[in-house]
Amino acid sequence: MKFFQNGWQGVYLQKIRLLLEQAIQGDITHLELSDECEKILFTEEHLTDKVRDLLETITMQWDLYITNTIDSDRLTEGIDLSHLSLPRNWLDGWLEEVKRVEETLENL
Give the CATH number for residue 98.
1.20.120
Question: Is the pLDDT score of 6 beyond 60?
Answer: no
What one-character DSSP code corresponds to residue 75? -
Predicted pLDDT of residue 1: 35
Give the Cα separation of 35 and 60 in Å (integer). 11
Structural domain range at position 35: 2-106
Mean pLDDT of the residues in the chain? 87
Confidence at residue 4, expressed as pLDDT on a 0 to 100 scale:
39
Q: Mind giving me the DSSP string for 2-50?
A: HHHHHHHHHHHHHHHHHHHHHHHHTSS-HHHHHHHHHHHHHH-S---HH
CB of 49 closer than 8 Å to CB of 104: no
Record the pTM.
0.85
Residues 55-92 pLDDT 10s = 999 999 999 999 898 887 777 767 888 889 999 999 99
| Domains in the chain, number | 1
What amino acid occupies position 108?
A: L
